[in-house]
Every structure is written in C-alpha cells, then in structure tokens.
Amino acid sequence: MTVFADLVVFNTLTRRFEPFEPLVGRRVFMFVCGPTVYDYSHLGHARTYVFYDTLARFLRKLGYSLFYLQNITDVDDKIVNRAAEEGRDPVELAREFESYYYEDMRALNITSVNLYARASDYLKEIFEQVETLIKLGKAYVTESGVYFDITTFPDYGKLSGQRPEELRVHRIEPDPTKRNPGDFALWRNRPREEFGWESPWGYGRPGWHIEDTAISIKHFGKQYDIHGGAIELAFPHHEAEIAQAESFTGEKPFVKYWIHTGLLTVEGEKMSKSLGNFVTIREALREYDANTLRIFLLSRHYRSPIDFRWEYLEQARSSYERIINCLENLKELEIGEEGDEEREFLSRVRERRDSFYRRMLDDVNTAEALGELYELVRDVNSFSERMGKISEAGRNEVISTFSELLDLLGLRIEEGPDTSMLHALISLILDVRENLRRRREYDLADEIRGRMRELGIDVQDTPKGTKWRIIG
C-alpha cells in the first residue's frame, strides 16, 4: 500500500483537527455507545453504526490493531415500561430486541465489532465505581438513590461546551433530594414490584451513564483512544461519563479522541413515532439492499446532518448499480496486450486509489471518497468504450482496486446466482438477431437492439462482431 500522511480526525473534546496518535503504539481501543434494546433499530442507529464500522475497517487497513467494543443497554426504564405494557419479563423483551439488533447489523454488513457487552453483566463493576465515588466525596446517597455531584468536577461541560448556568437545570424531572438540579443518577432506587437488583444503597437499577464507564474501564483500563456515538449523546451522557471516569480513576483524559456522528432527520424533521416518520432498518432493507443503504449513509460527511428521503435511496441504488455495471463491462472486455494507453489508464487508476485514501485520511471523509470511486467508474467506462480490450494483468489490477475500496466502505460485490444464465440468454438473443441480419430483416434486428437498450443492455455492431455491455 502507498505510504500516506497520518490520519487526521476532528476531536469534539478539543474542537480541533488532530493527527491520530494512539496512546500505545499501533494498538487502538474504541468504544461506541450501543442501543437500548426495547424496540427495533432505526435509521439513526444505522447512520451511526455504519460510520463506525467504516472507521474500524479503515483503521485496520492502515495497520492499527483495533479492539472495537460496543455496549448493549439492557437495563433501562424504557425496557421495563414496555415490558410492563405488554405483560412480559423485561429480560426476555431485552434479549428479543437485542437479537433483532444483531440481525440488523449483519444485514448491513457491520462486522467490525469485537465485543458486544451487556450492561447487566457488569453490576459488580458498577457497584465498585459508585462506592468509590461516594468515598471520594464525588457522589452522595439520598432516599431516592445515588447522585454524582457535578460541583466536585470543575471540567463538567468541557466536552459539550455547556455553560455553568446551563448545567443548573433539571434534565428530566425535579428531585428534591438532589443537592444540585444538574446532578445525575448513578443508582436509582425503585419499588420492589419493579425489575431491579439489590445494592448497598437499596433495591433498584443503575443510572444510564455509569453502565458505559463500568464496561469500558473493565476492558480498556483508565484511559483509551476513541469514544464514539451520535452527537446528541455528547450532553449529558458523554459529559457524565467523563466526570465519573476521571473522578474514579484520577486520570485525564479518560478518552483521547471523542468522535461524534451528526443527526439524521426524515424529510427535514426529527424522526419520531408520533410524527409517523419513524423508519426502522428492517423497513428500509425491505425496499433497498444493504449496499444502497450504506452508500446513502456514507454520502454525507459523518459530522454533518443527513436528511432521509426515499428518493435519496433510489439515487444511491443507481450509484451502486453504476459500479457493478462498470465491473461487469470490464469483465466482458477482450484480453489483449498491454499498450501505452493501458499503462496510462492504470496510472490513473492508481491515482484514483491514492486520492480515495487521502479523502479518508482527512477526517474519514467518506462523501469525498465515494466521489473518487465514482470518478474511477467513469475512467474505467471511458477506457472500456474506447479500447474494447485490456490485458489480463490490467483487468485484475482494476478489479482488485475496486474490491479494496468497496470493502473499506463495507460494500459487497454481489453477483446474483443467475448471472451466467443472463449472459447465456443475451448470447442467444444476439444469435437470433444476427440470423435476422443475415436474412436482411434489419427492421426487426434494430427493434431487438432498441428493446435491449431499454432493458439496460447496449448492443454495438463492430467490424470485429457484435459487442454488448450493461449500461447504468
């Protein structure tokens, strides 16, 4: 692989573009906030997890040894409330939707996660962290639970840029037992008829934020390289994680690089069941394949907002079909000797590949990387139409380049099981057309060519015989 400059990423914590330098050598630890498993995953989840899958693929391609950890929030009021509504056991409901989440991730070709960690498996670590924070004077116990005192952590708000006066508000609901309105729960006591566990402070459930630090510190230690998630989690969730972890360990920074994805809207509005615009991953995949969905989601820079419209998926599908048609046409070229034009063409292919990597190295700009991929398609199509042949080594190099770049984006080159049958049928139709031409039935032969073009198959009569190609 060509030697490139260093990867540069935008760090939410510092609000700067920074060279990516892991804490220890080439070893990278990355934690991404996973779903709360009480419902089917939606396109906002897809936007986030497709990006981090792409980032993971790219880091590994660059030679980093990556451990990608994602939590599964299977302890949450939303799970308990939905289970109560349906008269079900909360654990059973959580496991069901967890399995659906894994199905959706596999369907999207998200394969880079090393470990999915359930919050309920880390109660020991949660208890240890809460007890320590109480002993350090960072947290306090009330009759309703245990709360983190944000006044003991002067850096609270540094990630999201929240001002002190903005932090002195009730985020969810007022609690007269709290010292400060902005203090957040580490443990919530609950009635015994609800789902929960015994703890040193009463029967109940852990707070949302403490789950993630319990999991990440258990596996990564006091500090690690990358924390990811959607930008709406920066406050209060990620802000609370920093306060908990740095107070617990005494080490700063808890995470070196905070990388956040932008919001996904639906036709300009926030996705919401109440608005009737809530689109799940499996609903989208019933209409379009995973390659199409990934292209759509990667067609905007990860930090930018992205608006979902069904017609945008149609555009993404056309883009992917152009790539596949380009490869099919390339495979149909005659094999010849490498000449000067091919050598010049292959040089452009290598330049496109290098440009693709430069775009990715610039804060993982998948939108511009896709642009380079489309330019490569145009280069290949132009060469194929002009020359009509290529050396075997040249064709293998171009196909290998496509495979490399598509794999980095998590796109699969899928040839349907009927591809050989399709080629056989086209050959049969062209044989019939050639017989018509021999009998001087040109009108019917031209009608066949016109109908084939309507179906996306371009037929050309050349001095060397009839040639055909799939057109996008």
CA distance 434 to 445: 8
How far is residue 23 CA from its own chain's centroid?
24
Closest of 301, 308, 317, 219 to residue 272, by C-alpha: 308
User: Side chain identity at 324, as an amino acid letter?
Assistant: I
365 near 301, Cβ under 8 Å?
yes
E-only strand ranges, 347-402? 389-390
> Would you say 218 is a known binding-site residue?
no
* Ramachandran area for residue 267 (φ above 0: left; ψ -120 to 50: alpha; else beta): left
Q: Considering only CA atoms, give the Rg of the chain.
A: 28
How far is residue 234 CA from its own chain's centroid?
18
284 near 46, Cβ under 8 Å?
yes
CA distance 377 to 413: 14
CA distance 330 to 345: 13
Query: What residues are designated binding site for ATP?
Result: 273
Query: What residues are designated binding site?
Result: 273
